[in-house]
Copies of this chain bind each other. A is one copy, B any other.
């Protein structure tokens, strides 16, 4: 098995399709001019479609964290009261950024594995005026999807801005920013978009731009106003990661060819298959029922998950993740995002069954695979 490439079943970076790898390896090119303008336009259009917005979709040369900071610092001012919904590591990061730039942050801390309660959000918003609510949609660290549609509705009613981190789900699940009332969508390249890390995206609607006019947090490199002004001229304000943008064009073509609804259905089916396999092994899912992510599955680990992760990597060339922070060792996480089909789930389940067994947690590989296959089939996926 060491002959084949390592299989990335971590929640990002994800596996790169051949077309993406080909685009990455092309000769260098000039970062301005007609060719780049056309490429940026094609990419922005594709991202707008994924984000469900008729606003701007801006491309930044940064990690997802950079895009979080871009959204916060371009839309807010020091002292602004901000409600941060924290149900894991990435919710915490949004809060940390807001605090670093001197927002007045109130945290709504959600128990890891649970989803934020829109009723509670509404309650918090009724007690105090907030300029903005910042939240993750898909919490990569726990495998939970927060009910952002309802949270966005409560936020809009309260007259606050909604900044939503969709880094690990954009392109894997529907995001309807305009319809739901998300003012700024944050995303990254290395998840469902099948690219290496290095690009991040912010979708921003009209209310975001009104806020940006008043915003006074300092910024420069990550200033969305500068990014928008350049985008109107078919450019970026600073030299962008050209190779990654060429690859983004290729990735969006792949998504278009499969069809966005088919892509979403495949993600949902691969999640069902993964959940069925671990459940068949007698394991418990970490995320609350009804809020389980279609892109990453977190599982209570019956063995030290660090050992399990190492075993799968070393013996099977399959990379999965452990838990972060206080969840270290206690959960493992399987990413099923981007170019993941049943073949990859099968390889992962086989490796997982062997790993658990080897670490003295007996489980039935055949039963796990059968359950995965059945769940995928039930969800309408091709299982070869």
Contacts and interface: CB of A to CB of B under 8 A. Distances in A.
A380 interface: no
A12 interface: yes
A238 B13 contact: no
Interface in A12-42: 12-16, 21-22, 24-31
A110 interface: no
Interface residues of A, number: 52
Contacts of A239: 12-13, 63-65, 188, 190, 197
A242 B197 contact: yes
Given A100-B218, A217-B218, A25 B29 contact: no
A364 interface: no
Contacts of A65: 220-221, 237-239
Contacts of A198: 61, 198, 240-244
Nearest to A12: B239
Contacts of A27: 5-6, 15-16, 21
A319 interface: yes
What is the predominant secondary structure among interface residues of chain A facing chain B?
loop
A120 interface: no
A196 B97 contact: no
A65 B28 CA distance: 20
A99 to B, nearest CB: 9
Nearest to A196: B243
Contacts of A218: 100-102, 217-218
Task: With a 10 A CB-CB cut-off, give which of A218, A221, A242 has the most chain B CB atoms.
Answer: A221
A62 B64 contact: no
Nearest to A26: B21
A30 B314 CA distance: 13
A371 B22 CA distance: 40
Given A218-B217, A221-B222, A243 B61 contact: no
A219 B219 CA distance: 9
Nearest to A25: B25
A66 interface: yes
A284 interface: no
Nearest to A240: B197
Contact of A66 (B5, B8, B97, B238): B238
Interface string A82-121: 0000000000000011001110000000000000000000
A10 B239 CA distance: 13
A165 interface: no
A13 B242 contact: yes
Contacts of A15: 27-28
A242 B13 CA distance: 9
A354 interface: no
Contacts of A190: 28, 239, 242
Contacts of A30: 6, 8, 10, 13, 319
Given A62-B62, A96-B220, A198-B240, 5 more contacts: A62-B66, A64-B238, A66-B221, A97-B220, A243-B244
8 contacts: A8-B28, A13-B239, A15-B27, A15-B28, A62-B221, A63-B241, A65-B221, A190-B242
